[in-house]
Homo-oligomer: A and B are copies of this chain.
Amino acid sequence: MPDLSDLVSRAREGSPRAVAQLVSMVEDGGPAVRELAAELAPHAGHALVVGLTGSPGVGKSTTTSALVGELRRSGRRVGVLAVDPSSPFTGGALLGDRVRMAEHATDPGVFIRSMATRGHLGGLSAAAPQALRVLDAAGCDVVLVETVGVGQSEVEVVALADTTVVLLAPGMGDGIQATKAGILEIADVFGVNKADREGAEATVREIENAMAMGRRGTGPQWRAPVVRTVASAGRGIDELLAAIDAHRAWMDAHGRGDEGRRRRARAEIEAIALADLRAQLRAVSGSAALDTLAGEVATGGLDPFVAADRLRSAAEVDGG
């Protein structure tokens, strides 16, 4: 077992190797994660976390890579956390697109880590904030969290960001993308990528129409700007970053600068507490008790809610 204080010190001095090791530790989710969290806690809370999300094919990786370049030009240290929900069905896009990030791989001001989340004790909600804390402690000014694919896990990651960028592209959803419930609530900035393609203006209009209809609560509201980009050519990326920075400034000016950090902490604490409870249940699940209950439910002799009550009682007795 490596000396954790030493690893953390080296990560704070900017050693990419130490950062990589720490993120791997978080990903593995072993018992050392607990000790690591205690080591990192005092050094956390500085980085701005920007979530980037959108359907497969909109150009998330290309946009992320272009944003990294723009952030570096503005002199900021950057972390990239690419979250892969580890589906066997993700297909080839992920690996192919990673190659685009290669141009930043040798820049000492950039840390790039991808993170598989299957099997992690507390799921994405617990692992991602821990990985963010590593990158934060390593001195990143901005951490870009790029999520791959679709589904619940993506929304969870986005919930951990200070600023969320939703990327769309023309011709992806035929008028359905932007109006789907949920997308308006999570977006702080919209990026319409591949803006040189046919249908881009229709996509922009669609977002603007959907926003005009939607409401986001009472009080002063941040209005999510729509930025046109052609990430593969580096176009519009400066505007995209300006929109991200503007959102940050708006939140600070409205006394909401720590909202993202608090939301992240809340989700993380809950996820860890839940993982502990799950582990307690699993300890019982390994025993014959669950098999017996499952057999009774399978044959219709018992309903699953009663079975669940019995399982919980067993866990409480076992767990002390």
Contact = CB atoms under 8 A, between A and B. Distances in A.
Interface of A: 33-34, 37-38, 40-45, 53-56, 85-92, 95-96, 117-118, 126, 129-130, 149-155, 172-177, 180-183, 186, 258, 261-266, 268-270, 272-274, 276-278, 281, 285, 290-291, 293-295, 297-309, 311-312, 315
B304 A91 contact: no
Number of copies: 2
A317 to B, nearest CB: 14
Nearest to A296: B265
B285 A55 contact: no
Given A281-B277, A312-B277, A173 B303 contact: no
A265 B294 contact: yes
B273 A91 contact: no
Contacts of A152: 85-87, 117-118, 151-153
B304 A268 contact: yes
A281 to B, nearest CB: 6
Contact of A41 (B33, B173, B300): B300
A44 to B, nearest CB: 5
Nearest to A282: B270
B176 A258 contact: no
